[in-house]
Amino acid sequence: MQVVLSNISKEKAETVKKALEPDNVNFPEGLSLYVENIDNKLVFNFESKKNMKQFIATIDEVLEHVQVALKVIE
């Protein structure tokens, strides 16, 4: 699953990406997240090989962290 934040500056995108790095270390088994900055977009690539409920909860949690990071850097 891919989630894209459009119209975000490279600086903000990089800050958000760095803010998420600690969360990406202990990701639940069977789930993965790859974040990339493409043009003025921040692209989140989520993959799950297991539980759909856990997958959705993880995406929700990551997006909450993105929202907090964006509020902090405003």
Domain boundaries along the sequence of the chain? 2-73
Q: Which two tokens stand for residue 4?
A: 């894209």
User: CATH 3.30.310.50: does it fit domain 2-73?
Assistant: yes
Q: Which pLDDT score, from 0 to 100, does residue 24 have?
A: 65
Q: Is the pTM of this model over 0.85?
A: no
Q: Which two tokens stand for residue 14?
A: 């990089």
pLDDT grade, residue 29 (50/70/90)?
A: confident
Q: Which pLDDT score, from 0 to 100, does residue 71 have?
A: 92
Pairing of strands 2-5, 31-38: unpaired
Give phi and psi for 51, each to the nearest 5: -60, 120
For 51-64, the pLDDT digits (tens) are: 899 899 989 999 99
38: enclosing H helix or E strand: strand 31-38
Q: If we measure between CA atoms, which residue out of 62, 5, 10, 55 comes closest to residue 29?
A: 55
